[in-house]
């Protein structure tokens, strides 16, 4: 039964152009073409572990010392007094209703104000320190800078960077060069690592949107690899890394207390984000995959899967653009950027901080 399901799922009629089989694009099928090897998708899983170890090492021995030298303190808040009853209630439900607070107060023979004060201290205790956020942001900034730089170097001499129509010339019989191979492997490894580490990193308000984004990116890259669509996939990667560098850099500047630098870098990020994610991505990438590619390559079902994932990414981009513009509006009203789209912990509120 498993074999039948496997064969039905990987039906070449679904995943490949007409009159093409998996044997036609298997490694070694054509001595003149180095097709993508689907088994290589296991490589990023191992690389993800390597990246995680590298990240932990850099955070401890580089990012943290740099943050401390910039005056960022590992502000550890005062711990709430040990109380098993309140701890159990807090873990089960982070936001207790008034009736629950009343019940806990009666159970402990406390006043409601004492219970609320304990819960407030406990929430603040879970708030990550600025130094921890600085280290996480530094890692992402370093990776995006490396990835974008490497992508530019790799794609500079590739014909499809300058003429996107050539992403489909001779498809699916296109060779995957060694530099593109590494570009894919490291990018997939990074997003796999983010999927795992996201559950242990600082919890952000858009946690699930980011998780869906990571999964959609992995699915899109894996799909494009299996179907040998690495040319268009490499362009999507390059386009997405550009603005993220400046987002992470703006957050680093804010955590370090350089507000004017933060505002300037965030302005650059906003401009790049709108140009790349809302302008170039739909008008260059999606337009090509939806309208131009079918004129060059016979249509097959996997096109719809591919384009659906691209549209899903675009929807997430539109959601984040809305948040970014709200931040810009707040910054214009207050005279400085008060936050960024992923700076606030979902387990912590400004009301708690002020009390």
Q: Average pLDDT for residues 153-171, to the nearest whole number?
A: 94
Band of residue 301 on the pLDDT scale cut at 50, 70, 90: confident
Same domain for 62 and 44, yes or no, is yes
Q: Which of 126, 156, 190 represents a domain boundary (last residue)?
A: 126
- What's the Cα-to-Cα distance from 50 to each of 54, 56, 100, rounded to whole Å? 6, 10, 45
Dist. CA 40–CA 44, nearest whole Å: 8
In a domain, 265, yes or no: yes
Tens digits of residue pLDDT in 312-335: 889 989 988 998 998 888 878 776
Band of residue 14 on the pLDDT scale cut at 50, 70, 90: confident
In a domain, 14, yes or no: no
Structural contact between residues 159 and 180, judged by C-beta atoms closer than 8 angstroms: no
Band of residue 91 on the pLDDT scale cut at 50, 70, 90: confident
**Which conformational region is residue 272 in: left (phi greater than 0), alpha (psi within -120 to 50 degrees), or beta?**
alpha
Q: What letters, b where the CB count within 10 A reaches 16 and e where it falls short, cover 38-60? A: beebebbeebbeebbeebeeebe
Band of residue 29 on the pLDDT scale cut at 50, 70, 90: confident
Q: Average pLDDT for residues 172-189, to the nearest whole number?
A: 94
Give the model's pLDDT for residue 337: 57
Q: What percent of the chain has pLDDT over 90?
A: 49
pTM of the model: 0.82
Same domain for 119 and 200, yes or no, is no
Tens digits of residue pLDDT in 215-241: 888 988 998 999 999 999 999 999 989
State the CATH number of the domain containing residue 109: 1.10.10
Band of residue 340 on the pLDDT scale cut at 50, 70, 90: very low
In a domain, 24, yes or no: no
Give the model's pLDDT for residue 34: 92
Give the model's pLDDT for residue 148: 96
Provide the residue range defining the domain that includes 109: 84-126
Same domain for 162 and 118, yes or no, is no
Give the model's pLDDT for residue 117: 86
In a domain, 60, yes or no: yes
Q: Pick 302 or 123 by higher pLDDT.
A: 302
Same domain for 133 and 121, yes or no, is no
In a domain, 28, yes or no: no
Same domain for 50 and 96, yes or no, is no
Structure tokens at 180: 């593109």
Structural contact between residues 139 and 190, judged by C-beta atoms closer than 8 angstroms: no
Same domain for 158 and 218, yes or no, is yes
In a domain, 20, yes or no: no
Structural contact between residues 274 and 321, judged by C-beta atoms closer than 8 angstroms: yes
Give the model's pLDDT for residue 347: 38
* pLDDT, mean over the chain: 86
Residue among 132, 127, 133, 126 nearest 91 (CA): 126
Domains of the chain: total:
2
In a domain, 100, yes or no: yes
User: 345: which strand partners?
Assistant: 204
Structural contact between residues 330 and 105, judged by C-beta atoms closer than 8 angstroms: no
Give the model's pLDDT for residue 230: 94
In a domain, 11, yes or no: no
Q: Pick 78 or 18 by higher pLDDT.
A: 18
Same domain for 108 and 183, yes or no, is no
Dist. CA 166–CA 297, nearest whole Å: 11
Reply yes or no on whether the pLDDT at 200 is more than 80: no
């Amino acid at each position: 039964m498993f074999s039948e399901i496997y064969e039905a799922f990987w039906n070449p009629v679904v995943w490949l152009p007409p009159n093409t089989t998996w044997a036609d694009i298997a490694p070694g099928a054509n001595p003149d073409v180095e097709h993508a090897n689907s088994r290589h998708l296991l490589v990023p899983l191992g690389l993800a572990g390597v990246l995680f170890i590298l990240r932990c090492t850099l955070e401890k021995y580089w990012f943290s010392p740099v943050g401390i030298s910039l005056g960022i303190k590992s502000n550890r808040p005062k711990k709430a007094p040990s109380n098993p009853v309140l701890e159990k209630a807090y873990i089960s439900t982070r936001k207790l209703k008034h009736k629950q607070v009343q019940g806990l107060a009666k159970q402990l023979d406390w006043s409601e104000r004492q219970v609320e004060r304990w819960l407030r201290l406990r929430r603040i205790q879970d708030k990550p320190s600025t130094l921890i956020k600085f280290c996480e942001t530094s890692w992402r900034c370093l990776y995006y800078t490396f990835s974008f730089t490497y992508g530019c170097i790799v794609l500079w001499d590739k014909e499809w960077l300058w003429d996107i129509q050539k992403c489909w010339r001779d498809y699916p019989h296109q060779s995957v060069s060694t530099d593109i191979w590494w570009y894919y492997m490291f990018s997939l490894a990074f997003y796999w690592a983010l999927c795992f580490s996201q559950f242990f990193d600082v919890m952000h308000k858009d946690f699930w949107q980011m998780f869906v984004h990571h999964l959609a990116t992995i699915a899109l890259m894996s799909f494009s690899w299996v179907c040998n669509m690495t040319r268009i996939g490499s362009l999507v990667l390059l386009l997405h890394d550009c603005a993220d560098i400046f987002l992470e850099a703006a957050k680093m500047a804010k955590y370090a207390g350089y507000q004017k630098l933060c505002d300037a870098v965030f302005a650059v990020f906003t401009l790049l984000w709108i140009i790349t994610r809302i302008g170039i991505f739909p008008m260059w990438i999606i337009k090509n995959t939806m309208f131009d590619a079918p004129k060059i390559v016979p249509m097959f079902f996997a096109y719809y899967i591919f384009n659906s994932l691209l549209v899903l990414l675009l929807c997430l981009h539109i959601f984040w653009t809305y948040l970014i513009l709200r931040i810009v509006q707040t910054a214009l009203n207050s005279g400085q950027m008060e936050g960024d789209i992923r700076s606030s912990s979902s387990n912590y509120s400004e009301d708690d901080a002020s009390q």
